[in-house]
Amino acid sequence: MSGAVHLRQLYKAFDGNQVLQGVDLTIEAGEILTILGGSGTGKSVLLKLIIGLLKPDAGGILIEGQDIVPLREEELLKVRQKVGMLFQGAALFDSLSVKENVAFPLREHTLMAEAEIGSRVAEVLALVGMTGMEEKFPAELSGGMRKRVGLARAVALTPRVVLYDEPTTGLDPRNVDKINELITALRAKLQVTSVVVTHDLQSAFRISDRVALLSGGQIAATGPPGEIAQRDDPVVREFLAGHL
């Protein structure tokens, strides 16, 4: 496997508060990597940097070998089509139906005809188990269903990398299992690289090929879940003790 995403010495501060202090991380093509860390450690900031919604103060972000940091907005738009993101609250447009929400990136970024758009919307809704929900509005959906529609929209443009920001937050155990199954199923069906940010240690250990612990503005540890669970590193032990 070759690296799909390389983060190189990333620094990011907000109002003088140094959140990231030299993050180095390689995410391999096709893997599911979960970023763990306490609240306020910068996990979601990392995702927004990878998709280009934020710029780092210093460092490099390589998506399939291309450093996105120096790119202008119009150049970034092309890279963003390679990267889909499921936002924490799904971030659906309340005034648009499920069909229109999922079609939105296709209309924004492609020249597809309406018939093609309709076909692609049906295809990705089927992928996430939401066939028949096209005319519903977000207010009519449960939290788990909204996440699934958000995921359909995230993969509509056939991205190479999918980012998940707290995908199971606020869901009951049944829907947590469904979302976890979807993350692993989509990796298999779409051959995507998946980067997950979560507080949910059980989910992280279930779905991940590797986990990375963000602490003190840096990646404190990376490895397969089983290996991380056995590690003697005091930073790792303290984090696991507080979240198990």
Superfamily of domain 3-82+160-243: P-loop containing nucleotide triphosphate hydrolases (3.40.50.300)
State the chain's mean pLDDT as an integer.
89
Work out the number of other CB atoms within 10 angstroms of the CB of residue 91. 15
What does the pLDDT look like over 136-147, one tens digit per residue? Answer: 999 999 888 888
* Percent of the chain residues topping a pLDDT of 70: 98
What residue has token string 């397969």?
224
* Statement: residue 34 has pLDDT above 90: yes
For residues 19 and 45, the answer to whether their CB atoms sit within 8 Å is: yes
Q: Side chain identity at 124, as an amino acid letter?
A: V
* Statement: residue 129 has pLDDT above 90: no
Q: Which of 115, 179, 126 is nearest to 156 (CA)?
A: 126
pTM: 0.90
Average of per-residue pLDDT across 3-23? 91
What does the pLDDT look like over 88-109, one tens digit per residue? Answer: 877 888 899 999 999 998 988 8
* Statement: residue 226 has pLDDT above 80: yes
Average of per-residue pLDDT across 175-192? 89
Domain ranges of the chain: 3-82+160-243, 92-158
What b/e sequence results for 36-49 when a residue is b if at least 16 CB atoms lie within 10 Å of its CB, and e otherwise?
bbeeebbbbbbbbb
pLDDT at position 80 is 82
Angle at 40 between CA 24 and CA 237, to 5 degrees: 70
